[in-house]
Amino acid sequence: MTTIKDVAKLAGVSVATVSRAINQSGYVGVDSAQKIEKAIKKLDFHPSEVARSLYQKKSKLVGLLLPDISNPFFPLLAKGVEDKMNEAGYHLILGNVQEDMAKEQDYLKAFMQNNVAGILSAVDGGTSNLKEIPFVLLDRVATKKEYAVHGNDFEGGILAAKTIAEGSPKEIVLLVGPKSIKGSVERLKGSVSVFKEENLTYQLLQTDSFQFDSAKKASLELFEQFPKVDSVIASNDVHGLAILKEALRRGIKVPEELQIIGYDDIPFSQMVYPSLATIAQPAYEMGYKGAELLCRIMENQPIDKKIIQLPVLLKQRETLRKKE
C-alpha cells in the first residue's frame, strides 16, 4: 500500500502539502502541485479512507437498511439511493434486515463502528440510540421520525378503492399488510373512507408480511375464506401477483370474474398477462430523494421539507374491469 508519505518523498515535499493538494484546502505552490500530481500518478496512490475517517470521525460510507431485498420494490429503492450517494462521493453498507429486530440493531451498531456519515432506513424498528447520525426514513414511516421520504399512502388507499369501486364490485376483499407498519394502516384508512362514502361492504384479510411466503399463503386463504370474492385490493404487488396466478389456476376469469389491484408497481407487474393494475410508488425516486435529503442534512444545508411525500399514481392495467 503506498501512502501519502511515499508521495511526499517522491515529490520532495512534506505530507502536509500533499494533503492540502489532495483536498484542495490551503495554499499549494504551482510547481509543488505539479510534482505532487506526477508522484500520485506514478505511484497510483489512493488516499486511505480509513485513516481519513479516523481523524474526521466520519467516513464516506452510509448505511442502508432494507426489510427484504428479494421484494423487487427495494432493489429499485436501493438503486435510487446508490445513484445519488455515488454522485455525492459516498458508498453504501447494505443491511438486509429480514424483519428481524436483532439484525437491525446489529447493523446499526456496525454502522456506528464504521463511522458512517449517515443512515437511510426502510425499516421501521426501534431506531433507538442513534445519537447524532443523520438519519432518513424511507417508505415506511415510523412513529415520529424527523426526516422521511414516503409515498402518500392514504391517497394510495383512496385511489385503489375508487378504482375497484368503478368495476361494480359485489364482494370486495382488502388485504391488509402488517399493522405495525404505518403505511398499511394509512392505506386501509384511505380505502375504507371510500367504501364508506360509496356504501360498499368489504372484507379484510390480514397478511403477516410483504414477502413471498406470505403472498402464497394469502392467495390460498383468500379463495378459501371468500369463494365469492370478485374484487381484491392487494397489500402489494407481490401479493397481487400471487392472487392473480391462483385465480388463473382456478380458472377464474380475470378481470371479468375477479379484478385485482396491487401496490408498488414493481417491474414484474407489467410482465404478466393480464398485466397487474397497481398503485405506483416511485421507488427509485424515493430512494434518490431520500439520499438527497440525507446529503443536505450531512452538509448542514437548509432543509425546506423534512418530510417529503411523493405522489402515488394509478396504473390502469388489464386486471381491472371497465367502468360500466
Partner DNA sequence: TTGAAAGCGCTAACAG
Partner DNA sequence: CTGTTAGCGCTTTCAA
Summarize as ranges the residues that interact with DNA (CB under 7 A): 1, 3-5, 12-17, 19-20, 22-23, 25-33, 45, 47-48, 51-52, 54-57
Shortest distance, CB of residue 26 to DNA, whole angstroms?
5
Min dist CB 11 to its own copies, Å, is: 20
Nearer to DNA, 28 or 229 (CB): 28
17 or 152: CB nearest DNA: 17
Closest to DNA by CB, 51 vs 303, is 51
Residue with Cβ nearer its own copies (158 or 175) = 175
Task: Say how many CA atoms lie within 13 Å of 238 toward its Cβ.
Answer: 19
Partner interacting with residue 110 (select from DNA, its own copies, none; CB below 5-8 Å by kind): its own copies
Smallest Cα–Cα separation from 149: which of 135, 161, 164? 135
Pick what 64 binds: its own copies, DNA, none; C-beta below 5 to 8 Å, kind-dependent.
its own copies
3-state secondary structure the chain: CCCHHHHHHHHCCCHHHHHHHHHCCCCCCHHHHHHHHHHHHHHCCCCCHHHHHHHHCCCCEEEEEECCCCCCHHHHHHHHHHHHHHHCCCEEEEEECCCCHHHHHHHHHHHHHCCCCEEEECCCCCCCCCCCCCEEEECCCCCCCCCEEEECHHHHHHHHHHHHHCCCCCCEEEEECCCCCHHHHHHHHHHHHHHHHHCCCEEEEECCCCCHHHHHHHHHHHHHHCCCCCEEECCCHHHHHHHHHHHHHCCCCCCCCCEEEEEECCHHHHCCCCCCEEEECCHHHHHHHHHHHHHHHHCCCCCCCCEEEECCEEECCCCCCCCC
15/226 Cα distance (integer angstroms): 74
Beta bridge partners of 128: none
Question: How big is the chain by its Cα radius of gyration, in Å?
Answer: 25
Cβ-based nearer residue to DNA, 31 or 106: 31
Q: How far is the CB of 116 from DNA (least distance, A)?
A: 14
- Minimum distance, C-beta of residue 103 to DNA, in the bound complex (Å): 23
Residue nearer to DNA on the CB measure, 105 or 115: 115
Closest distance of CB 90 from DNA, Å: 15
Q: The cell 382456478 sits on which residue? A: 250
Which spans of this chain sit near its own copies (rule: CB under 8 A)?
Answer: 1, 44, 46-51, 53-54, 57, 59-61, 64, 69-70, 72, 74-76, 78-79, 82, 86, 91-96, 103, 106-107, 109-110, 112-115, 129, 212, 215, 238, 241-242, 244-245, 248-249, 267-268, 271-273, 275
Of 25 and 143, the one with the shorter C-beta distance to DNA is 25
Binding partner of residue 94 among its own copies, DNA, none, CB cut-off 5 to 8 Å per kind = its own copies
* CA distance to 215, 232, 239, 304, per residue, from 211 (Å): 6, 18, 8, 35
Pick from DNA, its own copies, none: which does 31 bind, CB < 5 to 8 A by kind?
DNA
Which of 185/212 has CB closer to its own copies?
Answer: 212
Least distance from DNA to the Cβ atom of residue 106, Å: 17
Smallest gap, in angstroms, from Cβ of residue 324 to its own copies? 25
Partner from DNA, its own copies, none binding residue 298, C-beta < 5-8 Å depending on class: none
Q: How far is the CB of 53 from its own copies (least distance, A)?
A: 5
Select the binding partner of residue 16 from DNA, its own copies, none (C-beta < 5 to 8 A, by kind). DNA
